[in-house]
């Protein structure tokens, strides 16, 4: 079932859970991109909220990708990396505990998105029950 969703997700046909975008990595990477993404995807498998996260090895592509994702992570020099939230620079992060930190951010973001969706749904439900109030 997960494989099916992954295929649809990659084709942009159905989006469930976290879509992690990463670079292929190369000698310029400032942290271990492939290993980090592998572990991160396993740790985020329980999240069903649609969301995009970019995990990019260096500033060549990191800031650009982060602009289009809910949470972005870009490798920086001297073991100090950059975290982006909603495309904006948010805070720096050292080498230690990258995955734990990103999992915490994604879980918090998922809770925020679900709360906003629940509020929207209950507002729409209230509008349905009293259509006159929705017009005014
Ligand atoms: S973003 Fe940086 S680390 Fe990743 S492939 Fe491009 S140059 Fe290499």
Q: What is the pLDDT of residue 49?
A: 97
Dihedral class, residue 25 (left if φ above 0, else alpha if ψ from -120 to 50, else beta): left
Q: What percent of the chain has pLDDT over 90?
A: 78
Question: Is there an atom of ligand 1 within 6 Å of 24 CB?
Answer: yes
pLDDT of residue 105: 98
Lookup: tokens for 109? 């973001």
Which residue would you say has higher pLDDT here, 123 or 57? 57
Domains and CATH numbers, the chain: 18-130 (3.30.413.10)
Q: Indicate whether 3 pLDDT > 60.
A: no
Q: Specify the pLDDT at position 40.
A: 98
Q: Are 21 and 54 in contact (CB under 8 A)?
A: yes
- Can you tell me whether residue 51 is helix, strand or coil? strand
| 56 CB burial (10 A radius; 0-12, 13-18, 19+) | buried
> In angstroms, what CA-CA distances link 130 with 27, 116, 120, 124, 127?
61, 21, 15, 10, 5
Q: What is the Cα–Cα distance from 66 to 72, expressed in whole angstroms? A: 5
For the stretch 68-117, pLDDT in tens is: 999 999 999 999 999 999 999 999 999 999 999 999 999 999 999 999 99
Q: Is the model's pLDDT at 10 over the cut of 70?
A: no
Is 61's C-beta closer than 6 angstroms to any atom of ligand 1? Answer: yes
Tokens of 125: 């439900």
Alpha-carbon separation of residue 47 from 1, 82, 108, 113 (angstroms): 15, 23, 11, 12
Predicted confidence at residue 129, as pLDDT, reads 84
State the number of CA atoms in the 13 A half-sphere of 116 facing the CB: 7
Q: Which of 60, 64, 75 has the most ligand 1 atoms within 8 A of CB, as the residue to mutate?
A: 60
- CA of 70 relative to ligand 1 center, distance in Å: 20
Residue 55 beta carbon below 6 angstroms from any ligand 1 atom: no
Question: What confidence tens digit (pLDDT) does each residue in 15-59 have?
Answer: 689 999 999 999 999 999 999 999 999 999 999 999 999 999 999
Model pLDDT, residue 130: 80
């Amino acid at each position: 079932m997960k494989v099916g969703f992954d295929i649809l997700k990659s084709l942009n046909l159905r989006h469930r859970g976290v879509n992690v975008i990463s670079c292929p990595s190369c000698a310029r990477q400032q942290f271990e991109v492939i290993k980090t993404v592998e572990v991160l995807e396993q740790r985020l498998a329980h999240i069903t909220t649609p969301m995009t996260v970019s995990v990019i090895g260096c500033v060549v592509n990191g800031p650009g990708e982060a602009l289009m994702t809910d949470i972005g992570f870009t490798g920086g020099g001297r073991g100090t990396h950059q975290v982006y939230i909603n495309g904006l620079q948010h805070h720096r992060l050292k080498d230690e505990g990258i995955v734990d930190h990103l999992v915490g951010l994604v879980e918090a973001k998922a809770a925020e998105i679900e709360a906003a969706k629940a509020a929207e749904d209950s507002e729409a439900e209230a509008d349905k029950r009293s259509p006159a109030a929705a017009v005014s």
